[in-house]
Chains A and B, each alone.
Chain A
Amino acid sequence: MTTIQTKLTPPAGDERVARRSALQKLLGRPEVGALVGAIVLFIFFALVSPTFTQPNALATVLYGSSTIGIMAVGVSLLMIGGEFDLSTGVAVISSALTASMFSWYFSTNVWVGVILALLVSLAIGFINGWILMKTKLPSFIVTLATFLMLTGLNLGLTRLIGGSVSSPSISNMEGFDTARGVFASSVNIGGIDVKITVFIWIALVAVATWVLMRTRVGNWIFAVGGDANAARAVGVPVKATKIGLFMGVGFCGWILGMHNLFAFDTVQSGEGVGNEFLYIIAAVIGGCLLTGGYGSAVGGAIGAFIFGMANKGIVYAQWNPDWFKFFLGLMLLLATIVNLIVKRRAELK
C-alpha cells in the first residue's frame, strides 16, 4: 500500500474506498449470514408445513426463540468480549431455585425471593469473572468448574431444604400472581396470545445493541474481545468490562429463571444442563466470533430465532424430532465457516 503519500497522489487514493457498494457494506455485517439462513429456513418451513405461517404457530415459534434469545443476548455480548460461559444453563435454574426455596422456606412474599435471586445471579456472574481475571485461566475451565458446582448445589440444596428433587409449589404464596404477571404472562395482540418473554427479549436486544454500538462500554466490549492487551494499553478497564459482561449474563439468567419459575410453580433441580450450549450456538450462528471482538446482539437474536424455527418447525412439519440435533449441528458448522471467512477478510491487509 502506498496510500501513505496520498498528499502527492490526489483523489486517486479515494476511489478504492468509494467502490464499496451498499450491498458490500451489508455483506460486511456480522449477522448477515444468519439473516440469510433465517429467511431461507422460514421459506422452507412455510412451504413444507401450511400451519407454520399461522399467527398462532408464529407466536409459539417466537416464544421458543425468546427462551433461548434472552440468554443469547448476554452470551453474545460476553462472546464479543472474548469469553464464554458454560455455567449459564444451570445458573438459570439456580436463580429460579433461590427465589422459590427462599420464599417457601421463610414464608416470605415471593418478591423477596425474586430480588434475592437477582443478587445471587449477579454474584454468580461476578464470581465467574473475578476468578477468571485473577487466575487468567481460560474461561472454559473456570465456567466448567462453576457449571459442575452449581449443578451439585442445585440438586444437593434442593433435597436438603425441601426433601425432594423439585422445589415445592409456591403458587399459593403472596406475590405469586403479580410475579407471574411480570415474568410469565401473555399479551393478547389481535386475538393471538404472545408471551411476555418475547417482548422482554426484543427489549433486551434493543438495549444491548444500543450499548454495543453507541456507548463507551460497547467500544470497550469490542476492544477487550479483539485485543485485551491493546485495550489495556490505551486505558480501557479490561477487568471491570469482562466482569461486567459476566454479570450481564447473570442478569439475563435471572430473567429466564424467573420466567421458568412463574410459568409453572415448581422447578426441577436437575434441569438446565446442556442449555448453555444452545445459547452459545445461537450467538455463534448469529455471527459472534468465538475468539471475540466481533459480532452483534441482533445476530444472537437471529441465531435464537433460527433455533426456535427449527425446533418448532420440525414439529409443525410432522417430522421425527430426531433430525433436529443433526440440523442444529449443521447450522453451527456452516455459521462458523462463514464467520471464519468474514474474519479473514476483515484482517486482510
Chain B
Amino acid sequence: MNAKAIDQETLLKNERDPLTHTPVHLLSLEGVGKHYGNIIALSDVTMAVDNGRVTCVLGDNGAGKSTLIKIIAGLHQHDDGVLNIMGEERKFGSPRDALDAGIATVYQDLAVVPLMPIWRNFFLGSELTKGFGPFRSMDVEAMKAITLKELAEMGIDLRDVEQPIGQLSGGERQCVAIARAVYFGAKVLILDEPTAALGVKQSGVVLRYILQARDRGLGVIFITHNPHHAFPVGDRFLLLKRGKSIGYYDKKDITLDELTAQMAGGAELAELAHELEQLGGHGEVVKAVKAEVADVDDTVNAGGPKHT
C-alpha cells in the first residue's frame, strides 16, 4: 500500500502539459476557497486539468463538489486562492466568460430546455446565423444537419431532431449535452454527476463518452460520488470532504480499494459497527462491518494516504 498524495510542489512545478510540453496546466486551482456569508463552502482546494486527462472530483453529498464546479463554470466567484487558465489568472464574472475561455459544463440537470426541439437546445446560446443587419436569421437547416451528424458520431441515431429534448432518455440527453460541449470547441469539459441518475448500462455508455472526449484532447473534470465510475476513467483524483480537500492522487499511486476506503472513511464505518453492536441482534452485519473497518485501517496504517 503505497498511495502517495500529490503535493503542491509536484503538482504545480514539475508537471508538463502533454501536448505543449510546457509546465502550464490547461486549468489549475491553487488554494481556492469560497464562503457564503459565514458558511465556508470550500477551502484550500488545489487541482489541475490537462489536455487529454480526466481529473475526477470525488466526495459525498455536501462535500463541496457543486461549489467547486460553480466556481470553474463562472456561476460563482471564488474568495480565496487562484484560478489559472493556461497559466493566466482569471475570475469569471458569468458563465459566458467561462464558455469563452473554453470551459463547458454539463450539469446534472443538463441545462437543456425540455420543451424545445433537440436542435434548438444543441445550439442554444451559440446559434448559427446567416444574413446581415436586421435580417440576420438562424441557419436552421445547417443547425439541424450538424446536430444530426454530431449526435450520430456520439452513437445516437435520431431521425427527427425536431422532437422536444424532454422526450429523450436520461442517457441520451447526457450525450446530447456532451456532444454539444465537444462541438463548440470546449477545451475543458466539466461533467457534474453524469452517472448519478443512470442505470448500470447507461452509466457505461456515458463513461465511454468521457473517454471519447478525453481522446479528442479535452481536459475533463468528472464529478462523482462513485469511485467505481471514477477509477476506470480517471487520471487524477481529488477527494473532497466537508468543503476540504482530503487527498489528491495520481492514478499510479492509488488503487480502487484505497480510493473507496478514503471515500467511505474508516472512522464512520467503525462508528456504525459500534452502533449496530449496541442495538444487538445484527451479528452477521457487525462482523462484516468490522472486517471492513480492519481493511480500511490496514490501508491507512500502512503509511498510505496522507490527509492533507
Contacts and interface: CB of A to CB of B under 8 A. Distances in A.
Interface of A: 1, 3-7, 13-14, 17-18, 20, 210, 214-216, 218-220, 222-223, 226-227, 229-236, 293-294, 343, 346-349
A4 B208 CA distance: 12
A232 B107 CA distance: 12
A218 to B, nearest CB: 8
Interface stretch (B22-30, B153-161, B218-226, B269-277): B153-161
B213 to A, nearest CB: 16
Interface stretch (B58-66, B118-126, B242-250, B257-265): B118-126
A97 to B, nearest CB: 31
Nearest to A295: B115
Q: Which 3 A-B pairs have the closest CB atoms?
A: A226-B113, A1-B169, A17-B159
B163 interface: yes
Contacts of B127: 216, 219
Given A17-B163, A215-B138, A349-B167, 14 more contacts: A4-B155, A4-B175, A14-B159, A210-B137, A215-B136, A218-B138, A219-B124, A219-B138, A223-B116, A227-B113, A231-B113, A231-B124, A235-B126, A346-B114
Nearest to B136: A215
Nearest to B181: A234
A251 B139 CA distance: 28
B157 A6 contact: yes
Contact of A233 (B75, B126, B137, B171): B75
A216 B99 CA distance: 18
Interface string B220-235: 0000000000000000
Nearest to A30: B115
Contacts of A236: 124-125
A227 B111 CA distance: 8
Given A215-B136, A233-B107, A235-B126, A1 B113 contact: no
Contact of B167 (A210, A231, A348): A348
A1 B136 contact: no
A230 B113 contact: yes
Contacts of B145: none
A216 B169 contact: no
Interface in B142-182: 155-160, 163-164, 166-169, 171-172, 175
Contact of A223 (B107, B113, B166, B168): B113
B140 interface: yes
Interface of B: 73, 75, 95-96, 99, 105, 107, 109-116, 120, 123-127, 129, 136-138, 140, 155-160, 163-164, 166-169, 171-172, 175, 202, 205
Nearest to A14: B159
A5 B169 contact: no
User: For A13, A17, A214, A233, which residue has the most chain B Cβ atoms within 10 angstroms?
Assistant: A233
A4 B126 CA distance: 26
B113 A349 contact: no
B116 A216 contact: no
Nearest to B119: A219
Contacts of A3: 156-157, 169, 172
Nearest to B174: A4
Contacts of B96: 235
Contacts of B136: 215-216
Contact of A6 (B111, B123, B156): B156
Contacts of A226: 113-116
